[in-house]
Chain A
Amino acid sequence: MVTEDKKKELLERLKNAVIQYDEDTAKEAAKEVLDVGMNANDAIFNGLVSGMEEVGRLFEAQEYFVPELLMCADALYAGLDILKPHVQQLDLGVKGSVVIGTVEGDVHDIGKNIVKMMFDVAGFTVYDLGRDVPLDKFVEEQLKTDSDLVCLSAMMTTTMVGMKKVIDDLRAKNPNVKIMIGGAPVSQDIAEKWGADGYAKDANNALKDAINMISSLKKLKEEAEARKSR
C-alpha cells in the first residue's frame, strides 16, 4: 500500500511536470503511480489536472503564452497516455459529452485544439469534427451523439457569421443543448446577441472556462464519492 507521503510526492511531481512542461518527468511519475499501485483517477485529477489549472492561471496572468501552454499540454498528454488505460469508469452524475469544431471556411484550429484538450482531460467524450466543418454537420453530429454541449470556433470575422446559423439550427432542433463559442473575432456581446450560452474570448478564456468546467466536474465527482461513502 502506498504511503500518504509517497502519494503526495507523486502528485506534486505530476503537477510540476505539467507546469514546467517537462514531458520526461510526467512520464516517469505516471509510471511510478502505476508501479506503487496508486489510483490513476487521483493522479490525473489531483496531479496532472491540478498542474494544468496552475498553467491556466499563469496563462491568464499573461506569464505563460501559447508556446508554453502547448508544451504544458504535451507534458500532460504524456502522463495521461500512461494513466488513462488504468482509469476506472468515472461516474460523475453528469453526462459529459461535447461536439467541437472550427466552422466552415476556417482552417485555424489551435484555439479549438486547446479547448478540446481540456475537455479530454476532464473526462468528457469529445466528438472533434476538426476544421472547416460544414455548418449542418454540427447539428447532425449533436443529434446523432445527443451531446449536451456544442463548441464552435472561428478565427476570421468572415467565417464567424456562420456560427449564428448553427446556433439557430441547433436551437430549433434541440432547445436544451448548451452552446459555447470562441475565437479571435467573437465577443461577449456577439455571444449574447446570437444566443450562445457561453463565450470564450480567446485561447486564454477558453482555457479558463474549460478549467472552470473541470473544477466543477471535480466538485461533482467529490460529491458523488461523498454520497457513495455515506
Chain B
Amino acid sequence: MTKHRVIFQPSGRRGEVEEGKTLLEAAQSLGVDIEGLCGSKKVCGKCKVRIEEGYFEKDNIESGMSHLSPITEAEKKHIKPEDGPGMRLACTAEIYGDLKVFVPERSRAGKQVIRKAAKELSIAIDPAVKKYNIDLVPPTLHDMATGDYERVLRFLEEDYGIKGLTFDYAALKGLQDALRQGDWKATVTVWMDREIIKVEPGFVETCYGLAVDIGTTTCVGYLTDLNTGKVVNTESMMNPQVPYGEDVMSRITYAMSNPAGLETMQKAIIEGLNEIIERVVSEIKKDGPNPGHAVDDMTIVFNTAMHHIFLGLNPVYIGRSPFIPAVQNSMNIKARDLGIKINPSSYIHVLPIEAGFVGADNVGVLIAEEPYNQDEMVLIIDIGTNGELLLGNRNKVCSTSCATGPAFEGAQIKFGMRAAPGAIEKVQIDPLTKEPLYKVIGKADWHTHLEKVNAKGICGSGIIEIVAEMFKAGIIDKTGRFVVDLDTPRVRRDSEGKPEYVLAWAEETSIGTDITITQGDVRALQLAKGALYTGAKLLMKRLDVAKLDRVVLAGAFGSHIDREASLTLGMFPDCPMDKVYAVGNAAGDGARMALLNKGKRSEANERARWVEFVEIATDPTFEKEFMQAMHIPHMKDKFPNLKAFLEKSGSKVEIKG
C-alpha cells in the first residue's frame, strides 16, 4: 500500500496516510478536527480546506492540487471564488501524493482555546490620542480672514492650551463638511498633542484604541475605551502566517527562499489583523462602510521576526548570527501606509525592540512588570515559541533569549497538540500504583477511569505536569531515563523497543489509540527546560546573583503551567514556591499600557536601551551549564525550597537540598 505524507495546518499534526483515503479520513486518523455536519454526504460544504502549493523547505514536502483526485461537480457547487484558490472539500478529495493542508478557522470543529484574556491594569490614564469638543463661533462676513483650519487651531489653543498643531492631510479633507454638519460643534481627535487625525461633527466623547499582540501562533486584539481604560472587546485568531512555517526560523527561511515570500506573509498578517479589527469593533459599531475607522489609535507588540514581516522589512539578518534587527526604536506609522483598516489618519505605534531575538513583546513584558522599579531580584520568564528571560532589579536588568524549541507548545511531542478541547492539561500520578488522573480542556471534572472522556492529545502545559509527575512517581529518574522494571502495564516498550508511559488507554480517547508519553517526549522537554534554566543561570552569573527572590511566569502558556511542576522539573533555579506566580499575557498588558499612557511609550524606548542583552549561546560555560540543566531538576544545583515543599507534601522523591 502506497502511503503519502500529509501535514495539517495550523495544528501541525502530520503523518503517513494510505493512498486513496480522503482528506477528512486522514484528518480524523491524525486527530485533526474538521467540521463535517452532513457526514461526508458532500452537501453541507463545511469541510473546506486549502491545499498549499509549492515546496516547503522546513517540512521538505512538495504539496499541490495535483496530488489529489480531480475536483468533482459536488465540490464546485460549494467552493466560491471568494474562498480563494486551492480550496477543496475534505470529505471528497482523495490523497494521491504528499500534501500540506490548511484548515481555515471556520472549518475547524474544535476551536482553539485562546489563552490571552485581558486582566485589570492599574495605570494612570493619559492616552496618546485624545478627543476635544469644539464649539466654534460660525464665521460671518465680518470674519472672512480665518479659514476653517485656523479657526479650529485658534479654538484649541484658546480653550485647551494646545499649541502648534498640524493637520493630517486626509483628515483636513473632511474638515469643512464636518464643521458645517455639526453646526460648528465638532470633535477633534489629536495625536500626541501634535497632529489632528480626525474631525467629527457634533460632540463625541468615547475614544477607542486597539492594543495588539501578534504571537508566532496566536494574534489578539484588545479594543479599549481610552477614557476609562476598560477593554470593551477582545478578539483573537491563529496567526495566518502559520502555513508558511510554524516557527520563526522557518518563516524567515520562507522569506529567503520564495521570491514573494515576505510580501505573502506580510499580506497574510495585515489581512488577519483587519479581520480582528472588523470582529472587535462589531461590539461598538455595527453598520457603516468602515466600522474600523472608529478606532483612532493602535499599539502593537510582537517578536522581532513577526515585527519585521509585519512591517515588510527583510527578516533575513535577524535569522542568523549576529542577529541584527533593521530598527530598534519604536515607530509611528500611518494606518493607511500599512493598509490597516482603522482611522486611516491615525498612527500605529510599534513598540521598540531590545535585541535581535528579544522583541517588542518582551518590551511589553518589561514595561508591564517594571522590574526596574523593584528591589527584589526577579526572574521573568516569557514562554512562547521562544523563551525570553529578564533578570534584575532597579540597579540593572539583563535579558536573553533561549531556543526552547516548540516542545512547550505541544509540537515535537508524539501526542502533543495545541490547547484545544480534548487536550489533556492537568495530570496527577499515584506514586504507588503509577495510575494517572487527568483533566481535559472542555470538561470541568477530572477523569475518573470509568467514563469515556474523548482525550485527543496533550497540550504544552499538560506535558510539563506529566513529566514532573512521572519524575515524582519514580517512572523516570533524574537523568530522564525510564525506570522499566516497574510492575505496571502503563510502562511498556513501543514497537521500536523504546519505553513509554500510557497516560490514557485507547477507549478513553477520541483517536482510538493509547495516548502515551515516550522517552523521546521526555528528551524533547529536557532540552527545552534545560535551555531556559541555562539562560536563567547565565543571567544570574552575569549579575553575580546567587538566588532568586521571585519568579514571574508570563505569556499565555506561562500562565497555565503549574508552578510546582515547573519548579520540580527545574525550568528555572530554586525559588520559594509562594514566590513563583503567573501574570498572564504580560506582552499584551504592555501593549495596553502603552495605549493608555503615552509616558509608557517613552519609558519603553528608554528601558529597551537600558536593559543589557546577554548572548548566552557563545558563553564559554554554555555547553557545561546546558548539560547540567537537562537533568531533573538539575545535575548539581541545590533546590532547598523545592525539597522542603515536596517533603511537606509527602513526596518520596529525592532532591538535593
- Bound together, the chains give a CA A185 to CA B252 distance in angstroms of 14
- Name the residue among A62, A64, A132, A190 with the largest chain B CB count within 10 angstroms: A62
* Cross-chain contact A185 with B58 (CB below 8 angstroms): yes
> Taking CB as reference atom, which chain B residue is nearest A159?
B320
- Contacts A105-B320, A132-B321; is A66 near B249 (CB within 8 Å)? no
- Per-position binary interface string of chain B over residues 480-496, scored 1 when its CB falls under 8 Å from any chain A CB and 0 otherwise: 11000000000000000
- Among the stretches A106-114, A118-126, A166-174, the one at the interface with B is A106-114
Task: Kindly state whether residue A187 has any CB partner on chain B within 8 Å.
Answer: yes
Q: Please give, as numbers and ranges, the residues of chain B lying within 8 Å of A5 by CB-CB distance.
A: none
* Cross-chain contact B58 with A67 (CB below 8 angstroms): no
Task: Kindly state whether residue A104 has any CB partner on chain B within 8 Å.
Answer: yes
> Taking CB as reference atom, which chain A residue is nearest B518?
A62
* Cross-chain contact A65 with B523 (CB below 8 angstroms): yes
* Cross-chain contact A105 with B623 (CB below 8 angstroms): no
- Per-position binary interface string of chain A over residues 180-205, scored 1 when its CB falls under 8 Å from any chain B CB and 0 otherwise: 00000101011000000000000000
- Bound together, the chains give a CA A228 to CA B169 distance in angstroms of 92
- Contacts A157-B58, A157-B250; is A105 near B627 (CB within 8 Å)? no
* Cross-chain contact A70 with B623 (CB below 8 angstroms): yes
- Bound together, the chains give a CA A161 to CA B320 distance in angstroms of 11
Contact partner of B249 (CB less than 8 A), chosen from A62, A132, A158, is A158
* Cross-chain contact B321 with A66 (CB below 8 angstroms): no
- CB of A151 to closest CB in B, whole Å: 18
> Taking CB as reference atom, which chain A residue is nearest B497?
A61
Within 8 A of A (CB), among B234-282: 249-250, 252-253, 256-257
- Per-position binary interface string of chain A over residues 86-108, scored 1 when its CB falls under 8 Å from any chain B CB and 0 otherwise: 00000000000000000011111
- CB of A127 to closest CB in B, whole Å: 20
Q: Please give, as numbers and ranges, the residues of chain B lying within 8 Å of A149 by CB-CB distance.
A: none
Q: Please give, as numbers and ranges, the residues of chain A lying within 8 Å of B321 by CB-CB distance.
A: 104-107, 132, 159
- Per-position binary interface string of chain B over residues 616-634, scored 1 when its CB falls under 8 Å from any chain A CB and 0 otherwise: 0110000100111011000
- CB of A77 to closest CB in B, whole Å: 14
Task: Kindly state whether residue B60 has any CB partner on chain A within 8 Å.
Answer: yes
Q: Please give, as numbers and ranges, the residues of chain A lying within 8 Å of B626 by CB-CB distance.
A: 110
Q: Please give, as numbers and ranges, the residues of chain B lying within 8 Å of A4 by CB-CB distance.
A: none
- Per-position binary interface string of chain B over residues 58-75, scored 1 when its CB falls under 8 Å from any chain A CB and 0 otherwise: 101000000000000000
Task: Kindly state whether residue A68 has any CB partner on chain B within 8 Å.
Answer: yes
Q: Please give, as numbers and ranges, the residues of chain B lying within 8 Å of A63 by CB-CB distance.
A: 481, 519
* Cross-chain contact A104 with B320 (CB below 8 angstroms): yes
- Name the residue among B527, B617, B635 with the largest chain A CB count within 10 angstroms: B617
- CB of A136 to closest CB in B, whole Å: 16
Task: Kindly state whether residue A71 has any CB partner on chain B within 8 Å.
Answer: yes
* Cross-chain contact B631 with A158 (CB below 8 angstroms): no
- CB of B255 to closest CB in A, whole Å: 10
Q: Please give, as numbers and ranges, the residues of chain A lying within 8 Å of B462 by CB-CB distance.
A: none
- Bound together, the chains give a CA A113 to CA B58 distance in angstroms of 24
* Cross-chain contact B498 with A62 (CB below 8 angstroms): yes
Q: Please give, as numbers and ranges, the residues of chain B lying within 8 Å of A110 by CB-CB distance.
A: 623, 626
Q: Please give, as numbers and ranges, the residues of chain A lying within 8 Å of B627 by CB-CB distance.
A: 66-67, 70-71
Contact partner of A190 (CB less than 8 A), chosen from B60, B256, B498, B628, is B60
Q: Please give, as numbers and ranges, the residues of chain A lying within 8 Å of B630 by CB-CB distance.
A: 65-67
- Contacts A106-B320, A190-B60; is A65 near B479 (CB within 8 Å)? yes
Contact partner of B635 (CB less than 8 A), chosen from A64, A67, A189, is A67
> Taking CB as reference atom, which chain B residue is nearest A193?
B60
- Bound together, the chains give a CA A13 to CA B480 distance in angstroms of 26
Contact partner of B520 (CB less than 8 A), chosen from A62, A64, A107, is A62
> Taking CB as reference atom, which chain B residue is nearest A187?
B60
Within 8 A of A (CB), among B522-565: 523, 526-527
* Cross-chain contact B481 with A157 (CB below 8 angstroms): no
Contact partner of B479 (CB less than 8 A), chosen from A68, A155, A190, is A68
Task: Kindly state whether residue B319 has any CB partner on chain A within 8 Å.
Answer: yes
Q: Please give, as numbers and ranges, the residues of chain B lying within 8 Å of A67 by CB-CB distance.
A: 479, 627-628, 630-631, 635
- CB of B518 to closest CB in A, whole Å: 8
- Bound together, the chains give a CA A27 to CA B478 distance in angstroms of 26
Task: Kindly state whether residue A177 has any CB partner on chain B within 8 Å.
Answer: no
- Contacts A65-B523, A67-B627, A185-B58; is A107 near B249 (CB within 8 Å)? no
Q: Please give, as numbers and ranges, the residues of chain B lying within 8 Å of A156 by CB-CB distance.
A: 249, 319-320
Task: Kindly state whether residue B647 has any CB partner on chain A within 8 Å.
Answer: no
- CB of A144 to closest CB in B, whole Å: 24
Task: Kindly state whether residue B16 has any CB partner on chain A within 8 Å.
Answer: no
- Contacts A67-B630, A157-B249; is A105 near B523 (CB within 8 Å)? no
- CB of A74 to closest CB in B, whole Å: 10
Contact partner of A65 (CB less than 8 A), chosen from B57, B58, B316, B480, is B480
* Cross-chain contact A157 with B253 (CB below 8 angstroms): yes
- Bound together, the chains give a CA A70 to CA B626 distance in angstroms of 11
> Taking CB as reference atom, which chain B residue is nearest A132?
B321
> Taking CB as reference atom, which chain B residue is nearest A68?
B479
- Contacts A63-B481, A107-B321; is A113 near B623 (CB within 8 Å)? yes
- Bound together, the chains give a CA A185 to CA B405 distance in angstroms of 12
* Cross-chain contact B479 with A108 (CB below 8 angstroms): no
Q: Please give, as numbers and ranges, the residues of chain A lying within 8 Å of B252 by CB-CB distance.
A: 157-158
- Bound together, the chains give a CA A107 to CA B323 distance in angstroms of 11
* Cross-chain contact A65 with B526 (CB below 8 angstroms): yes
* Cross-chain contact A161 with B479 (CB below 8 angstroms): no
- CB of B86 to closest CB in A, whole Å: 24
Q: Please give, as numbers and ranges, the residues of chain A lying within 8 Å of B498 by CB-CB distance.
A: 61-62
Q: Please give, as numbers and ranges, the residues of chain A lying within 8 Å of B497 by CB-CB distance.
A: 61
Q: Please give, as numbers and ranges, the residues of chain B lying within 8 Å of A65 by CB-CB distance.
A: 479-481, 523, 526, 630
- Bound together, the chains give a CA A158 to CA B520 distance in angstroms of 25
Q: Please give, as numbers and ranges, the residues of chain A lying within 8 Å of B523 by CB-CB distance.
A: 62, 65
- Bound together, the chains give a CA A161 to CA B627 distance in angstroms of 28
- Bound together, the chains give a CA A221 to CA B548 distance in angstroms of 55
- Bound together, the chains give a CA A187 to CA B58 distance in angstroms of 9
- Bound together, the chains give a CA A139 to CA B656 distance in angstroms of 50
- Bound together, the chains give a CA A31 to CA B630 distance in angstroms of 32
Q: Please give, as numbers and ranges, the residues of chain B lying within 8 Å of A187 by CB-CB distance.
A: 60
- Bound together, the chains give a CA A190 to CA B58 distance in angstroms of 10
Question: Top 8 nearest A-B pairs by Cβ distance?
Answer: A105-B320, A158-B319, A62-B519, A67-B627, A157-B253, A157-B249, A189-B60, A107-B617
13 new A-B contacts, CB < 8 A, other than A62-B519, A66-B527, are A61-B497, A62-B523, A65-B479, A67-B628, A68-B479, A110-B626, A156-B319, A156-B320, A157-B57, A157-B58, A157-B250, A159-B320, A161-B257
What are 25 pairs between A and B in contact, CB < 8 Å? A61-B498, A62-B523, A64-B479, A65-B480, A65-B526, A65-B630, A66-B627, A67-B627, A67-B628, A67-B631, A67-B635, A68-B479, A104-B320, A106-B320, A107-B321, A107-B617, A108-B403, A132-B321, A157-B57, A157-B250, A158-B319, A161-B57, A161-B253, A187-B60, A190-B60
